């Protein structure tokens, strides 16, 4: 019960910020994919940099554990390509589609219905995928610092600096 309440509160805060950042809209999502307006990239990278520092601090303090997903090259690449294709058509992400609906962009309803169908189809296809695509290029649970053989605190500042340079460049270009 407490877990469910945490989920709701976290969602309310996150949805509030997504809307205030104006990243829920189709025009913003397609704007990013068409490299016309990179508001979403600014939002996402800012979020990632803050979360990266905070979560690794928690891990170092023994207050949290990382939840690392397996690197499955076949599934990651094929799934990523399909996701990109679908995202370009839909113009909303799974999480932002409900937020877009909440701010009145009700074409998102059809996207949400489509996503429910897509998830159902995946469940049907899972037994087949499990013995094929999901076995291709399985490198197990792997993080970038592990792959490079360095401390996370080498990767984090470099990543953050890269983000700041990108932000400055985007602002100069008016993107």
Partner 1 sequence: MAQGKNGGWSPYLAGGLSGLVSVFSVWLAGKFLGASTTFAKTAGMLEGLAAPERVSRLEYFLKNTPQVDWQWMFVAGILVGALLAALSDRSFAWEPLPPMWRSRFGESRWPRWLAAFVGGTVAMFGARLADG
Q: Which parts of 106-145 interact with partner 1 (CB under 8 A)?
A: 106-108, 110-127, 129-130, 133-134
Segment near partner 1 (CB under 8 A), from 60-68, 138-146, 147-155? Answer: 60-68
Residues in region 3-22 near partner 1 by CB under 8 A: 3-22
CB of 34 to partner 1, least distance (A): 9
Instruction: Based on the shown chain and the rule CB under 8 A, indicate whether residue 167 belongs to the binding site for partner 1.
Output: yes
Instruction: Based on the shown chain and the rule CB under 8 A, indicate whether residue 48 belongs to the binding site for partner 1.
Output: yes
How many CA atoms does the CB half-sphere of 131 hold within 13 Å?
3
Backbone angles phi, psi at 150, to 5 degrees: -130, 170
CB of 156 to partner 1, least distance (A): 13
Instruction: Based on the shown chain and the rule CB under 8 A, indicate whether residue 26 belongs to the binding site for partner 1.
Output: yes
- Distance CA(25)–CA(40), nearest Å, equals 10
Burial degree of 103 (CB within 10 A; 0-12, 13-18, 19+): middle
- Distance CA(132)–CA(42), nearest Å, equals 37
70 to 89: interface string for partner 1, x by CB under 8 A: x-x--xx-xxxxxxxxxxxx
- Distance CA(54)–CA(27), nearest Å, equals 31
Contact of 77 with 174, CB cutoff 8 Å: no
- Distance CA(12)–CA(140), nearest Å, equals 33
- Distance CA(102)–CA(100), nearest Å, equals 5
Distance of CA 76 to the CA centre of its chain: 13
CB of 85 to partner 1, least distance (A): 6
Instruction: Based on the shown chain and the rule CB under 8 A, indicate whether residue 64 belongs to the binding site for partner 1.
Output: yes
CB of 145 to partner 1, least distance (A): 17
Tell me the site size for partner 1, rule CB under 8 A: 106
Instruction: Based on the shown chain and the rule CB under 8 A, indicate whether residue 40 belongs to the binding site for partner 1.
Output: yes
Instruction: Based on the shown chain and the rule CB under 8 A, indicate whether residue 32 belongs to the binding site for partner 1.
Output: no
Instruction: Based on the shown chain and the rule CB under 8 A, indicate whether residue 33 belongs to the binding site for partner 1.
Output: no
């Amino acid at each position: 019960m407490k877990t469910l309440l945490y989920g709701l509160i976290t969602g309310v805060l996150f949805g509030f910020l997504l809307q205030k950042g104006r990243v829920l809209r189709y025009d913003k999502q397609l704007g990013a994919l068409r490299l016309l307006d990179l508001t979403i990239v600014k939002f996402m990278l800012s979020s990632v940099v803050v979360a990266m520092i905070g979560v690794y601090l928690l891990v170092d303090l023994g207050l949290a554990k990382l939840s690392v997903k397996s690197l499955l090259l076949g599934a990651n690449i094929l799934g990523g390509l399909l996701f990109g294709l679908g995202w370009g058509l839909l113009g909303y992400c799974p999480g932002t589609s409900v937020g877009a609906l909440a701010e009145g962009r009700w074409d998102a309803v059809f996207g949400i219905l489509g996503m429910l169908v897509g998830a159902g189809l995946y469940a049907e296809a899972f037994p087949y995928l499990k013995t094929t695509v999901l076995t291709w290029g399985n490198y197990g649970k792997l993080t970038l610092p592990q792959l490079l053989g360095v401390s996370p605190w080498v990767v984090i500042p470099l990543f953050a600096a890269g983000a700041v340079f990108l932000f400055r460049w985007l602002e100069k270009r008016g993107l």
